[in-house]
């Protein structure tokens, strides 16, 4: 996997993007947006004469449109507009756009250059960095995809000012996860950040540190054979919550699903790996206070467990493997933890108890 360049470019987004195009000299340039980023973010680029003339591909927003049909529409546009392997695709949007756009670029003509310009905090800290691309399939999150990094990720925190509170907190949940798997300083910085009164200068520094956590892990293990599984903390149960919510017709934001998933996985960390109780309570308190709760009834436990069996970290014998945290506390990562069904359901009971369901 090629090395990915991450640039924090407050106030210089169009300049950095123009330089990116100049350096790579593609035959054609295309911009992928969803209907939200077309309205809110594309005008920022179109102030530049060059980007005002670039052909735009529009797809529908939100994760429930991260589908094979949407992917095919991007391929069709590229084909009908004479894109080649020497073209470039700019993905301007949140995680849904960078996931789908990255997959489209990685597979069209067997691969073309692409650049991610994440316009959500979640996209910046998670989806746009690290090379994972893909679409949802058969009701399962990111079931089809490839690992192939964009050439660059260009981030301007000023674009996050358009986010509503829930979408901002959705991205911050992944930063909470990075805090838990990194070190005490970064974790304490996360605890000190005021989500009710956002300091964007402070956010820029904290975001850079959070991305660095992911970059360091991905550099060691780009194809998730080993330590990259650390980035899945909170995701095994979180993805099950997310898939169930989507099936139920009441989808939740990805970051909220991860936040909810971290609570039972913190419990499993304490129960099986000795993660300190006081740290567990501290993290659970942070999540509970900022993310509310998803109503999970006892009758859906077996279905949630079935959804977890599809997690990509699992092996072929049906065991569910977790990334957990160990007795040394923050940053003590324990991958490939085999947890039995009884304990998983007990952890969901714990989640229900602490959030007051």
Instruction: Verify whether residue 110 is a known catalytic residue.
Output: yes
Instruction: Verify whether residue 5 is a known catalytic residue.
Output: no
Catalytic residue among 53, 82, 110, 342: 110
Catalytic residue among 232, 242, 265, 352: 232
- 49/116 Cα distance (integer angstroms): 20
Instruction: Verify whether residue 38 is a known catalytic residue.
Output: no
Instruction: Verify whether residue 235 is a known catalytic residue.
Output: yes
Instruction: Verify whether residue 161 is a known catalytic residue.
Output: no
Catalytic residue among 177, 186, 228, 352: 228
Instruction: Verify whether residue 214 is a known catalytic residue.
Output: yes
Phi, psi of 154 (to 5 degrees): -110, 120
Catalytic residue among 174, 270, 334, 352: 174
Catalytic residue among 66, 254, 270, 352: 254
Instruction: Verify whether residue 340 is a known catalytic residue.
Output: no
Catalytic residue among 141, 142, 148, 224: 224
Catalytic residue among 186, 214, 229, 334: 214
Q: Classify burial at 340, counting beta carbons within 10 Å of its beta carbon; exposed 0-12, middle 13-18, buried 19 or more.
A: exposed
Asked if 118 and 33 touch (Cβ cutoff 8 Å), the reply is no
Catalytic residue among 66, 178, 186, 235: 235
Q: Classify burial at 193, counting beta carbons within 10 Å of its beta carbon; exposed 0-12, middle 13-18, buried 19 or more.
A: middle
Catalytic residue among 20, 66, 116, 132: 132
Instruction: Verify whether residue 285 is a known catalytic residue.
Output: no
Active site positions, annotated: 110, 132, 174, 214, 224, 228, 232, 235, 239, 254
């Amino acid at each position: 996997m090629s090395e990915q360049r991450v640039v924090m470019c407050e106030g210089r987004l169009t300049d950095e993007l123009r330089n990116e195009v100049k350096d790579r000299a593609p035959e054609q340039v295309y911009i992928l947006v969803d209907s939200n980023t077309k309205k809110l973010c594309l005008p920022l680029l179109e102030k530049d004469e060059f980007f005002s003339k670039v052909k735009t591909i529009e797809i529908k927003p939100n994760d429930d449109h991260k589908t094979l049909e949407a992917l095919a529409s991007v391929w069709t546009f590229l084909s009908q507009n004479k894109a080649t392997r020497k073209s470039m695709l700019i993905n301007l949007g949140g995680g849904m756009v960078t996931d789908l756009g990255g997959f489209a670029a990685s597979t069209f003509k067997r691969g073309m250059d692409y650049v991610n310009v994440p316009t959500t905090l979640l996209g910046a800290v998670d989806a746009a960095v690290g090379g994972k691309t893909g679409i949802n399939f058969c009701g399962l999150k990111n079931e089809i995809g490839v690992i192939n990094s964009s050439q660059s990720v260009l981030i301007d925190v000023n674009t996050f000012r358009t986010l509503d509170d829930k979408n901002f907190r959705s991205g911050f949940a992944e930063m909470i996860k990075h805090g838990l798997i990194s070190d005490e300083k970064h974790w304490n910085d996360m605890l000190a950040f005021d989500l009710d009164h956002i300091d964007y200068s402070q956010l820029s520094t904290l975001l850079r540190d959070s991305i660095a956590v992911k970059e360091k892990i991905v550099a060691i293990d780009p194809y998730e054979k080993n330590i990259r599984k650390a980035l899945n903390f909170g995701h095994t149960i979180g993805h099950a919550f997310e898939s169930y919510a989507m099936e139920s017709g009441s989808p939740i934001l990805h970051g909220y699903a991860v936040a909810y998933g971290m609570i039972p996985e913190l419990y499993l960390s304490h129960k099986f790996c000795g993660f300190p109780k006081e740290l567990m309570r501290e993290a659970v308190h942070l999540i509970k206070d900022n993310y509310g709760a998803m109503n999970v009834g006892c009758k859906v436990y077996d279905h949630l467990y079935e959804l977890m069996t599809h997690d990509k970290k699992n092996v072929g014998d049906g065991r569910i493997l977790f990334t957990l945290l160990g007795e040394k506390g923050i940053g003590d990562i324990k991958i490939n933890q085999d947890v039995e069904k009884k304990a998983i359901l007990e952890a969901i009971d714990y989640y229900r108890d602490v959030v007051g369901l």
